[in-house]
Chains A and B, each alone.
Chain A
Amino acid sequence: MNKLQKKILVFLITLTLLTPAGIFLPIFFNAGDAWGEWSAETVKNMIGYVPQGLAKYTDSYKAPLPDYSANSGDASVIHQSGYYILSGVLGVIIILIVMFIISKIIVKKNG
């Protein structure tokens, strides 16, 4: 690994440790879901019914760590921040491995 790659890695680790800002800021400024990313329940509260297709597809896949958390029911912001950082670390590790394998397969050019 060269000097620049080391620097980028340190930068990425620093960013990962700062990700709980993505939890704290929305709470502090009282902001909710992203537009168009509401749960079926929230949609029902907004328009009075759950669209049929939405009801059918919405829980068709259960992600292992929904909302970047191992326990989304836990109300503690501190705990959620911990889960968030761990999700970030896990995501980065998986992505680095997947990209390394993909790049090895795709890239053949030397120099």
Chain B
Amino acid sequence: MHIPDGYLSPQTYVPLYGAFIAVTAVAVKKIRKEVSVKNIPYLGMAAAFSFIIMMFNLPIPGGTTGHAVGSALVAIILGPWTAVVAVSVALIIQAFIFGDGGITAIGANCFNMAIFMPFAAYYLFKIFCRHGEKKSGVFWSSFVAGYISLFLAAVLTAVEFGIQPMIAHAPDGKALYCPYDLKIAIPAMAIEHLALFCIAEGLITALIVMYFYKHEKPLIYALNKGGKHE
């Protein structure tokens, strides 16, 4: 899901850079309001977690590889605004130091995995978890939040890839950037994610949220925000 340099046209990556910068500016303000100094260590740990979890390349036998992102977990435990900054930092380090994801595509990759995905996960969790807080309910809400949010982020990425042949091609009709259109990109990205990578995202999200639910419940942002503690 890390779009490399050369796959997106400037018409695509420039607006996504703009969106990324605008949302990050809002995130900084929200974090200033929501997060207290004693929780600073968790921000770094969340970014590190996301970075490491993306190193676990999972194989589709005989096919492609992919990975979980960790955005869903960070969004549920620390809130979507914190996830925006934490996962963005992981993605930017990946691009600059390890060449994972392009420099021109930083806006796009952060928009997909560090903005769209944590917000999707957070609201999915809130929707599924609003009736009581039974253990099994929290587990499955977390799983679904991880599973569906990564799937939606993968489809969004596929759309960014897939619109390239339409918006940018040479006079002879040859592609200038990503050569595959929506009809190829969306099924390819959707199926591999549904079959494997989203299950990984769902499981790590659910297992770790359950650990916090049992031992550190007051820390879970998604269970407290808007609740009686506020």
Contact = CB atoms under 8 A, between A and B. Distances in A.
Do the two chains bind? yes
Interface in A59-111: 59-68, 84, 87-88, 90-92, 94-96, 98-100, 102-104, 106-111
A30 B64 contact: no
A107 B44 contact: no
Contacts of B39: 107
A106 B89 CA distance: 14
B4 interface: yes
A34 B100 CA distance: 11
B40 A88 contact: no
B82 to A, nearest CB: 10
Contacts of A99: 43-44, 47-48, 86, 89
Interface in B69-123: 85-86, 89-90, 93-100, 102-104
B48 to A, nearest CB: 5
B37 A109 contact: yes
Given A95-B90, A102-B89, A37 B4 contact: yes
A95 to B, nearest CB: 5
A20 to B, nearest CB: 9
A16 B45 CA distance: 13
B49 interface: yes
Interface string B27-67: 01001111111111111110111011101111111111111
B55 A19 contact: yes
Contact of A67 (B48, B85, B98, B174): B98
Contact of A58 (B4, B60, B176): B4
Contacts of A64: 97
B9 interface: yes
Contact of A29 (B35, B59, B192): B59
Given A30-B61, A54-B6, A102-B85, 19 more contacts: A19-B52, A25-B58, A26-B65, A29-B62, A31-B64, A32-B65, A34-B65, A36-B185, A36-B189, A60-B104, A61-B103, A63-B98, A95-B89, A95-B90, A96-B44, A96-B47, A99-B86, A109-B34, A109-B37
